[in-house]
Amino acid sequence: MAKVLVTGGAGFIGSHLVRALLERGDSVRVLDNFATGKPRNLDGMLDVIDLREVDLRDADGVRAACAGMEYILHQGALPSVPRSVQDPRTSHEVNVNGTFNVLEGARLEGVRRVLYAASSSAYGDQPGFPRVETMVPQPLSPYATQKLTGELYMQTYWRVYGVETVCLRYFNIFGPRQDAESAYSGVMARFALQMIRGEQPTIFGDGLQGRDFTYVENVVSANLKSMSAPATSVAGGVFNVACGTRHTLLETYSGLARLLTYPHPVLHGPARDGDVRDSLADIQAARLAFGYEPLIGFAEGLRRTVAWYRKEYPPQEAEH
């Protein structure tokens, strides 16, 4: 039974990790400030976890949450490229200083391994597909730079202090419990809810931008596998976590529209500042280092996601 701290444990990805850790008998502590996470994401688990309402910017609170832990899955962050373009300071403080606080907590409290939710945004728009971890990063937005800075700090803490850090570069993760209600929500969640509500989604740009959309269960598996892999295979490493397939936004829109029998054609708006054009991962490094394999592909992920949003947001009865 491992002692694991999940930062951002009340968020979309974090809450999936918490559930999986509990299912295999680990002892789980959650750190969250509920800025984007929700207690509801931890329904049925609140009695069996140690929940700390702490902000990542609070160094003392973060350190206290690290005490006695063997592993940290650092998922807490202020996500969204456009949010970081709009308000770079707040996302910097959470994503860079917050990550630093987690590493300092880990070092001072003797935590063995820290897994970090890194981002595919690090690659930017450079030529060459699929993206391989050895490519030189070219971040295009404050968010991408912040997440990349976290990676560099992770590697430094391995080299200098021997904290076993592992950077998992997530490629556009989607699935149940992804927040759908914010202007900064991921596109899959946003479009699914807009279609369910009969609202018109907008595609920013021509819709031909591609993403390696990755169902959340694949990320859970990558975390569990890299937690137990030998340090010689993973410590100090950076690994893409994705499916290795690319789907355009237009395809994604029509896939969702088909499953939700949404009748309206696409509406296009201006392209978004800081947006990456295309994204597709090479997943060989994760395969070799810790036996990662994508478990759920795009089509099945889409079906499961739509089924969840349908249940979560049932159509409103007409008022009489």
Q: Exposed, middle or buried, 318 (CB in 10 Å: 0-12/13-18/19+)?
A: exposed
Assign 200 to helix, strand or coil: coil
Q: Which residue is nearest to ligand UD1 (CB)?
A: 121
CB of 248 to ligand UD1, least distance (A): 10
Nearer to ligand UD1, 22 or 257 (CB): 257
Kindly compute the dihedral angle of the four CA atoms of residues 238, 19, 27, 38, in this order, to the nearest 10 degrees.
90
Q: How far apart are CA 150 and CA 110, in angstroms?
A: 19
Nearer to ligand UD1, 82 or 291 (CB): 82
CB of 247 to ligand UD1, least distance (A): 11
Scanning residues 100 to 139, which ones bind ligand UD1 (CB under 6 A)?
Answer: 119-121
Q: Catalytic one among 116, 123, 143, 309? A: 143
Of the residues 15, 279, 290, 309, which one makes contact with ligand UD1 according to CB under 6 A = 279
170 lines the binding site for ligand UD1 (CB under 6 A): yes
Scanning residues 190 to 229, which ones bind ligand UD1 (CB under 6 A)?
Answer: 190, 201-204, 209, 211
Query: Which H or E element spans position 250?
Result: helix 249-259
93 lines the binding site for ligand UD1 (CB under 6 A): no
Q: How far apart are CA 152 and CA 106, in angstroms?
A: 16
Taking Cα atoms as reference points, which of 54, 14, 303 lies closest to residue 170?
14
Q: How far apart are CA 10 and CA 101, in angstroms?
A: 19
CB of 131 to ligand UD1, least distance (A): 9
Q: Among 8-16, 42-50, 75-83, 287-295, which window interacts with ligand UD1 (CB under 6 A)? A: 75-83
Establish whether 143 is a catalytic residue: yes
CB of 301 to ligand UD1, least distance (A): 14
Q: How many residues bind ligand UD1 (CB under 6 A)?
A: 23
Half-sphere exposure of 80 (CA within 13 A, CB side): 22
Alpha helices in 8-86, H assignment, sequence order:
12-23, 59-66, 81-86
Which residues have a catalytic role annotated? 143
